[in-house]
């Protein structure tokens, strides 16, 4: 009896639904599919939610940045965190084709991915990795930031043992207190490492903590410390290499911070680093987010929707579901606070945003200039972007979630397929 019931009352093994996933059972199936045909099914056809990246917007933003650079100032495109969720390989190609001179990443693997995609531009790693990663830096020609003598000397030793040079950029701490050699200690640090024949200082940089803030006293202090540190190097006969400090905010607000190269990050993707830049430059967001309706239902007055049933139907609405949730970057903190767009009209997202799905309401009444919508399965819904005059933005979502655009954009990248246009 136990064998027949497989340990469960009234549940026979031959009717076990899990048998469908059994490899032996599948091997005996007469049905087969071409692996090439399966692989050709596009990401947006595997799931009805996706991200679109407008490369022309990235080109526009880079053009706007480049025309504000001081003469002979180079531009480094920051493509860390998968290009802020926009896709590091495609964005890097677009940036380099649009006049960027170098790329910056946050991890060794990010740099390796660019090299394996065939990109040959200089790549700067914006931190020191573990010493065990040094062979990867040398093999894939990724320049590390350096700020610890122990790491620098280990880097030089491994390079020298393989008859290679060890290029690096020296990171200087001028006040952000995250990484870097303290500005006042820069000459002592150079004394500790400069004797090594393999080490080559290709650049020296710092990072501003408040270039995006209205008040600029702390920015001025950092600028002064950095300028004095660079001058101290030169007076000591040490070539600082490519000097760079400006992030997106400083690039747009403080031309005196451009030095030999500026680093563009958030502005390249179409987001203003601060309110003060909105009147300075026209930036175009490159990311849009879409989904298709997967379910439509009438919900009676008083009936609830989603976990907790916090939303109750007022009647005269239809509840539509899209396959987009907080695991896709649609932050649960936005539940009930944002609109999506259907047929050029705003529709309120309702109920708690689930891990993989969320719901919105469609008002079925007709009044004034408000035409009645007729949602259909498969209809495209704009979550980020515009339809006609209606627009939803990552900036608004960031404000409502009490965070920054960087975090929202990156969140949409992890599971959603990306299309480029």
Which residue, 243, 210, 249, is CA-closest to 226? 243
Which residue, 260, 256, 305, 251, is CA-closest to 280? 251
Q: Which residue has the tokens 């649960």?
A: 332
Total residues belonging to the chain: 421
Task: Pick the catalytic residue from 80, 147, 311, 326.
Answer: 80
Supply the Cα-derived Rg of the chain in whole angstroms.
27
3-state secondary structure of 170: strand
Distance spanning both ends of the chain, measured CA to CA? 61
Task: Pick the catalytic residue from 66, 140, 307, 399.
Answer: 307
3-state secondary structure of 111: helix
Answer left, alpha or beta for residue 384, where phi above 0 means left and psi between -120 and 50 means alpha: beta
- Alpha-carbon distance 180 to 167, whole Å? 17
Report DSSP state, residue 44. H
Residue 380 · residue 421 · CB < 8 Å: no
Residue 76 · residue 267 · CB < 8 Å: no
- 147 noted as active-site residue: no
- 307 noted as active-site residue: yes
- Alpha-carbon distance 105 to 213, whole Å? 24
State the catalytic residues.
Answer: 80, 307
């Amino acid at each position: 009896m136990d064998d027949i019931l497989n340990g469960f009352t009234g549940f026979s093994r031959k009717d076990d639904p899990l048998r469908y996933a059994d490899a032996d059972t599948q091997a005996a199936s007469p049905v087969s599919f071409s692996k090439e045909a399966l692989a050709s099914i596009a990401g947006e056809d595997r799931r009805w939610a996706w991200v679109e990246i407008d490369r022309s917007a990235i080109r526009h933003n880079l053009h706007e940045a480049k025309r504000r650079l001081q003469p002979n100032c180079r531009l480094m495109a920051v493509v860390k965190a998968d290009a802020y969720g926009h896709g590091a390989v495609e964005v890097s190609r677009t940036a380099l084709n649009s006049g960027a001179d170098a790329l910056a990443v946050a991890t060794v693997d990010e740099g390796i991915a660019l090299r394996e995609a065939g990109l040959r531009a200089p790549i700067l790693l914006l931190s020191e990795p573990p010493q065990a990663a040094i062979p990867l830096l040398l093999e894939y020609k990724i320049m590390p930031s350096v700020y610890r003598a122990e790491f620098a000397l280990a880097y030089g030793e491994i390079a020298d043992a393989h008859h290679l040079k060890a290029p690096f950029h020296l990171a200087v701490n001028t006040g952000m207190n995250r990484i870097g050699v303290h500005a006042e200690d820069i000459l002592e640090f150079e004394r500790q490492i400069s004797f090594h024949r393999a080490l080559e200082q290709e650049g020296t940089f710092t990072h501003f903590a408040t270039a995006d803030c209205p008040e600029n006293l702390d920015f001025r202090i950092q600028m002064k410390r950095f300028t004095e540190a660079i001058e101290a190097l030169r007076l000591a006969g040490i070539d600082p290499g490519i000097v760079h400090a400006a992030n997106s905010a400083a690039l747009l607000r403080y031309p005196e911070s451009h030095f030999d190269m500026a680093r563009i990050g958030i502005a390249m993707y179409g987001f203003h680093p601060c309110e003060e830049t909105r009147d300075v430059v026209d930036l175009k967001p490159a990311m849009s987010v879409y989904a298709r309706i997967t379910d439509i239902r009438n919900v009676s007055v008083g009936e609830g929707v989603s976990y907790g049933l916090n939303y109750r139907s007022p009647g005269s609405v239809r509840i539509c579901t899209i396959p987009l949730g907080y695991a896709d970057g649609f932050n649960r903190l936005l539940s009930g606070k944002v609109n999506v767009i259907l047929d050029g009209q705003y529709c309120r997202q309702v109920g708690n945003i689930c891990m993989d799905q969320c719901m919105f309401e469609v008002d079925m009444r007709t009044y004034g200039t408000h035409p009645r919508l007729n949602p259909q399965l498969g209809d495209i819904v704009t979550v980020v972007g515009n339809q006609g005059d209606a627009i939803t933005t990552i900036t608004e979502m960031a404000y409502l979630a009490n965070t920054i655009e960087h975090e929202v954009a990156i969140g949409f990248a992890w599971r959603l397929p990306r299309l480029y246009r």
